[in-house]
Structure 1
Amino acid sequence: MRIVGGSHRGRPIIAPSDRTTRPTIDRVRESLFNMLLHSPSLMTDEGKSRLEGGVVLDPFAGSGALSFEALSRGAHHAYLFEIDPAARRVILQNARELDMAERITLRGADCTKPGPAPFTSPGPADLVLMDPPYRSGLGTQALTALDREGWLKPDALVMVETDAKGSFAIPPGFILLEERQQGPARLTFLLHQR
């Protein structure tokens, strides 16, 4: 795997060696970030990408690929949740190799039970990049819990990746902006409305 765009374009990243982690493939990541940077429907009311200086939340981090891609493309900070110790070691190794260790906060907590959000800098997330295990239902649980605990800004943008035939149960407090199929994945974009 590699970073596909931004200041760290082409830099390699590693993934956990187990078969339970399914990193977002490079082609899907590239399409996703092009949408985040150029699609008017996914911009802020001021016409700005949420990546520009934004805070990213990566609830099912795995290798951290989505967060590192966001940081490479202009995000200020990323919160990563990962319960697997081996995956956390991979994330920290990737962060060191990419000189991004100061720009991430890695939590070993279950994102469906995240605890209260920190209210100090960098604050709640502008953008959630969620790639839960396919067909698990965990994405809806996690988003509900993260909302309840204050992890999201009132107008945060949420991207949920599911398999192409899958769907995402949208919890209260979010509206559907759009859905796009990208190869083997479906990307669902939601707007937080609190």
Structure 2
Amino acid sequence: MRIISGKYAKRNLYTLKSNKTRPTSDKVKESLFNSLGQFFTGGQVLDLYAGSGALGIEAVSRGFDHAVLVDINYAAVEIIKKNVDLTKEPDKFTVYKRSSAAAIKELEKSGKFHFDLVFLDPPYAKQQILTDISKLTKAGLINDGARIVAETDDQTTLDLPDGYKFEKEHHLGKTIVRIYKREEA
């Protein structure tokens, strides 16, 4: 796995060698970022189930100002830190070893973060994604116009979250990537 484009392009990333995470493939990542737009002009990104941190690092590589990378797994967090070190810009990243619920509470309490892009790829997608979107929205962590990218297997269906409009869906093998956009309040 590697960073595909932007200022960190072609750097190989470390991955966790276990079945506890499912890294987003380069093919899925490239299709996703082509869909979102090649490059960005600032903003904050959250990857709530970061695994290796690849999606958040790719977003910063392509122009986001800062990424918050969260994972509950100790080994995954160590891999994320190694991958952040590869960027040589650690100040552009915040890494938390927390559950999604604990991370959302901490982010809300800090008052420092308001996200323009959120990646959600939890292990139990159907049950967790809508809950996470609701918690993030109620906590005031999602900017108007922000995009939420939900990655699931092809057997999972999702309802449209309140306050969001469906933007697009990509079928990539057994993976489905759905993009939702926060409506103006």
8 Å contact from structure 2 (residues 21, 51) kept in 1: yes
1:88 and 2:77 are equivalent in the alignment: yes
Aligned residues: 181
8 Å contact from structure 1 (residues 83, 108) kept in 2: yes
Q: Which amino acid aligns with 1:37?
A: G
Specify which of 91, 96, 100 is matched with residue 89 of structure 2.
Answer: 100
- Give me the identity figure in percent: 33
1:57-99: CA deviation from partner (whole Å, max 9, x where unpaired): 1111111010011111111100112111111111011101221
In the superposition, the TM-score normalised over structure 2's length comes to 0.90
2:78 is paired with a residue whose SS is: helix
Name the counterpart of 1:69. Answer: 58
2:27 is paired with a residue whose SS is: helix
- Quote the Cα distance in structure 1 between the aligned partners of 2:125 and 2:137: 21
8 Å contact from structure 2 (residues 11, 86) kept in 1: no
In the superposition, the TM-score normalised over structure 1's length comes to 0.86
1:28-71: CA deviation from partner (whole Å, max 9, x where unpaired): 00010111116xxxxxxxxxx6x321211111111101001111
Specify which of 110, 126, 151 is matched with residue 118 of structure 1.
Answer: 110
8 Å contact from structure 1 (residues 143, 171) kept in 2: yes
1:35 and 2:23 are equivalent in the alignment: no
- Quote the Cα distance in structure 1 between the aligned partners of 2:117 and 2:99: 19
Distance 1:12 1:176, change over 3 A: same
Deviation at 1:117, TM superposition (A): 5.2
- Quote the Cα distance in structure 2 between the aligned partners of 1:162 and 1:68: 20
Q: Which moved more, 1:148-157 or 1:88-97?
A: 148-157
Q: Which runs of 5+ in 2 are unaligned?
A: none
Name the counterpart of 2:20. Answer: 20
Deviation at 1:15, TM superposition (A): 1.2
1:55 and 2:47 are equivalent in the alignment: no
**In proportion to residue count, which structure has more helix?**
2
Q: Which amino acid aligns with 1:56?
A: V
1:77-136: CA deviation from partner (whole Å, max 9, x where unpaired): 00112111111111011101221311111122221342125333xx30011122222545
2:110 is paired with a residue whose SS is: coil
8 Å contact from structure 1 (residues 55, 124) kept in 2: yes
8 Å contact from structure 1 (residues 117, 150) kept in 2: no
Deviation at 1:167, TM superposition (A): 2.0
1:137 is paired with a residue whose SS is: helix
- Quote the Cα distance in structure 1 between the aligned partners of 2:6 and 2:118: 19
